């Protein structure tokens, strides 16, 4: 877990500097395992978040705003009773454990001064938030742990607060480096990073790997396999990190997956050199807020997309099955014209065919080569009955072909539509984009309307993405199919240039035409944008068609975003995120 004991020390120092002397004004519980406290301190209003979420437990100052439940939970009401109006007098933690407490001085109903302690334990799935009195008796906790859950330690109202079982580790501030590595010889079978983790308080796997990385060794190396030089490098770098911890020389930072800074990997209070895309931030609270907000937002987006993704994937699977069945039916009736020929030849030669024949060979007068055709017969039928039987088979096959061809075309159109919606959903980066896609699926009939999924009427619809080409032309990109229709059929002029990836789901892209022709460079940039906002985003040599808007039509009954176009040209491009970023991006 990134939030280790070293980060806890950094957080406590920062919160002590900011919050001590502040007054608690409001308390909310927006999530089942999360508390948000509004504090007035040093002339400013701040929000302190305490989360016991199993995946993202934490405490820090936040800018996050969440909708609060209409009826506050019991724990929230208890906190309001004991802490509202209280003054924060101290923030502390215990010996590099991830246990942080906020001490509050408040006045009770009788006017007496009381002291309370709001405590958070940051321990993964065992994380908890508790309110203690001045005698360290638990008044209540956000999660109750009784003897049925844990025989070691109960967390229940009216029970004394007991620290979690101590681990046999050494505090980094009292660590004797030489003795520490002499003892390492007794654990020679361990990996060096594991040895550091098992024996130093407050160190996370990330920090242990950082020590090894700075020492230029693999953290998975067995201690026995390390040379004396390797050990000296580890000792030197460990000592350097411990020295920074001792004097509270922190450099909060976030490691990003790439230069776009859209996906955070890790964070820490100390400089991290093992990643290439590092962003240093002055405040540990700002670091935590950015990291966890990004993580939380990404997770919530995945959750919000999940049911729609399931609906779309089920629809796509259904379409593919229908297409397979229709194609099989068309293969079965592919020889329908032969049935008609059999009927006509039998009718033309009806008096020449012996009764009770199993097969007859007749001259095909439609053939230029005067070929004979072998026609199987039902020996129990008269020749004219056999002819009628072939005519009926032909009529049935002809009807099946006509009906199935129509159904196959509809299935392909539906598949194209569903794949385009799925592409839009996968590209969505905000909850409002997802809500608009949900509403589209409701209107088309794939999803049932519900109060939760209904978009608020007073919520302003999202605008298309807007880029600015290097030649100064506005380039608009639709976020979803309803927006694609609006962009192409209503917002655009007939001479504007329309772009779309060939045979690949993607957004409609419009270049607003100015006086004169659109420069080749703008056409290329618009094609790159169209490829980037499509399913071919990660592909190479993506074909992008473009034409004037007047050549783009929507057929009757077509689903949102589905159009036909003529008189087009094609540009082949390879999407490149770095190139896209060089095009001026005017909105998000």
At residue 49, φ and ψ (nearest 5 deg) are: -105, 135
Q: Given 439, 459, 479, which residue is the final one in a domain?
A: 459
Residue 569 to residue 546: CA distance in whole angstroms: 6
Q: Is 265 contained in some domain?
A: no
Kindly report the number of other CB atoms within 10 A of residue 321's CB atom.
11
Please give the order of strands across the beta sheet that includes 542-548.
569-573, 542-548, 497-501, 509-511, 474-477, 465-468, 584-585
CB of 395 closer than 8 Å to CB of 417: no
Clarify whether residues 11 and 137 are in a common domain: yes
CATH number at residue 73: 2.30.310.10
How far apart (Å, rounded) are the C-alpha atoms in residues 509 and 487? 8
Residues 56, 129, single domain; the answer is: yes
Are residue 35 and residue 114 in the same domain, yes or no?
A: yes
Count how many domains the chain has: 3
- In this structure, is residue 206 part of a structural domain? no
On whether residue 281 sits in a domain, the answer given is: no
Give a yes or no: residue 399 inside a domain. yes
**Size (the chain), residues:** 588
Domain-ending residue, one of 410, 440, 459: 459
Residues 455 and 504 in one domain: no
Q: Examine residue 391 and state whether it is found in any structural domain, yes or no.
A: yes
Distance CA 408, CA 414 (A): 10
Whether residues 122 and 28 share a domain: the answer is yes
Strands (E), 507-567: 509-511, 542-548, 552-553, 564-565
Buried b (16+ CB within 10 A) or exposed e, 463-492: ebbebebeeebebbbbbbbbbbbbbbeebb
The CA–CA distances, whole Å, from 351 to 348, 384, 445 equal 8, 9, 59
Q: Do 373 and 442 belong to one domain?
A: yes
Please check whether residues 452 and 471 belong to one and the same domain: no
Q: Is residue 339 domain-shared with residue 440, that is, in the same domain?
A: yes
Residue numbers of the domain that contains 363 = 330-459
- Same domain membership, residue 563 and residue 440: no
Pick from 121, 141, 161: which residue ends a domain? Answer: 141
Decide if 203 is inside a domain. no
CA-based nearest residue to 57, from 111, 7, 107:
7
Residues 501, 454: one domain?
A: no
CA angle 551, 555, 556 (to 5 degrees): 150
Same domain, 452 and 486: no
Residue 318 lies in a domain: no
**Tens digit of pLDDT per residue, the chain (588 long)?**
579 999 999 999 999 999 999 999 999 998 889 999 999 998 999 999 999 988 889 999 999 887 788 889 999 999 999 999 999 999 999 889 999 999 999 998 888 999 999 999 999 889 999 999 999 999 999 999 987 787 778 899 999 999 988 888 999 989 999 899 888 888 888 999 999 999 999 999 999 999 999 999 999 999 999 998 999 999 999 999 999 999 999 999 999 987 777 788 999 999 999 998 999 999 999 999 999 887 777 777 888 889 899 999 999 999 999 999 999 999 999 999 999 999 999 999 988 898 889 999 998 888 877 789 999 999 999 999 999 999 999 999 999 999 999 999 999 999 999 999 999 998 888 888 888 999 889 988 898 876 544 555 545 778 899 999 989 999 999 999 999 999 999 999 999 999 999 999 999 999 999 888 899 999 999 999 999 999 998 888 999 999 999 999 998 889 999 999 999 999 999 988 777 777 766 554
Same domain? For 455 and 469 the reply is: no
């Amino acid at each position: 877990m990134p939030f280790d004991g070293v980060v806890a020390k950094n957080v406590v120092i920062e919160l002590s500097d900011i919050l001590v002397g502040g007054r608690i004004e409001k308390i909310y519980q927006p999530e089942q395992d999360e508390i948000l406290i509004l504090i007035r301190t040093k002339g400013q209003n701040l929000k302190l978040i305490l989360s016991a979420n199993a995946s993202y437990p934490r405490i820090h100052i936040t800018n996050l705003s969440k909708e609060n439940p209409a009826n506050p939970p019991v724990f929230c009401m208890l906190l309001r009773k004991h802490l509202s109006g209280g003054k924060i007098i101290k923030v502390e933690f215990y010996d590099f454990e991830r246990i942080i407490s906020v001490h509050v001085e408040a006045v009770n109903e009788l006017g007496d001064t009381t002291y309370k302690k709001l405590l958070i334990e940051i321990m993964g799935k065992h994380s908890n938030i508790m309110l203690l009195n001045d005698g360290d008796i638990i008044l209540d906790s956000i999660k109750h742990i009784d003897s049925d859950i844990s025989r070691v330690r109960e967390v229940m109202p009216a029970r004394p607060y007991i620290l979690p079982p101590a681990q046999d580790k050494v505090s980094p501030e009292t660590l004797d480096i030489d003795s520490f590595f002499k003892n390492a010889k007794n654990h020679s079978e361990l990996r060096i990073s594991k040895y550091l983790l098992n024996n130093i308080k407050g160190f996370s796997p990330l920090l242990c790997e950082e020590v090894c990385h700075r020492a230029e060794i693999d953290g998975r190396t067995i201690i026995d396999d390390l040379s004396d030089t390797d050990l000296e490098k580890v000792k030197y770098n460990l000592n350097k990190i411990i020295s920074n911890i001792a004097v509270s020389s922190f450099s909060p930072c976030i490691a990003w997956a790439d230069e776009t800074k859209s996906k955070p990997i890790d964070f820490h209070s100390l400089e991290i050199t093992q990643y290439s895309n590092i962003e240093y931030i002055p405040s540990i609270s700002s670091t935590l807020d950015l990291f966890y907000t990004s993580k939380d937002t990404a997770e919530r987006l995945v959750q919000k997309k999940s049911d729609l993704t399931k609906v779309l994937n089920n629809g796509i699977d259904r379409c593919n099955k229908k297409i397979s069945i229709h194609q099989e039916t068309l293969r079965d009736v592919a020889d329908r014209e032969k049935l008609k020929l059999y009927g006509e030849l039998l009718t033309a030669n009806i008096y020449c065919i012996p009764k009770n024949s199993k097969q007859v060979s007749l001259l095909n007068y439609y053939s230029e080569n005067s070929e004979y055709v072998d026609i199987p017969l039902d020996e129990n039928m008269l020749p004219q009955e056999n002819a009628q039987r072939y005519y009926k088979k032909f009529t049935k096959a002809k009807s099946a072909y006509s009906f199935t061809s129509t159904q196959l075309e509809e299935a392909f159109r539906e598949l194209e539509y569903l794949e385009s919606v799925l592409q839009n959903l996968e590209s969505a980066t905000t909850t409002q984009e997802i809500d608009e896609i949900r509403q589209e699926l409701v209107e088309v009939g794939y999803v049932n309307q519900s109060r939760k999924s209904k978009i608020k009427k007073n919520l302003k619809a999202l605008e298309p993405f807007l880029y600015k080409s290097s030649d100064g032309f506005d380039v608009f990109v639709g976020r979803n199919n309803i927006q694609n229709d609006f962009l192409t059929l209503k917002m655009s002029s007939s001479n504007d240039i329309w772009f779309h990836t060939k045979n690949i789901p993607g957004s409609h892209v419009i270049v607003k035409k100015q006086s004169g022709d659109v420069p080749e460079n703008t056409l290329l940039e618009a094609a790159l944008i169209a490829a980037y906002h499509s399913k071919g985003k990660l592909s190479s040599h993506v074909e992008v068609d473009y034409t004037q808007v007047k050549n783009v039509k929507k057929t009757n009954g077509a689903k949102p975003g589905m159009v036909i176009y003529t008189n087009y040209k094609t540009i082949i491009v390879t999407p490149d995120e770095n190139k896209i970023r060089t095009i001026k991006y005017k909105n998000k």
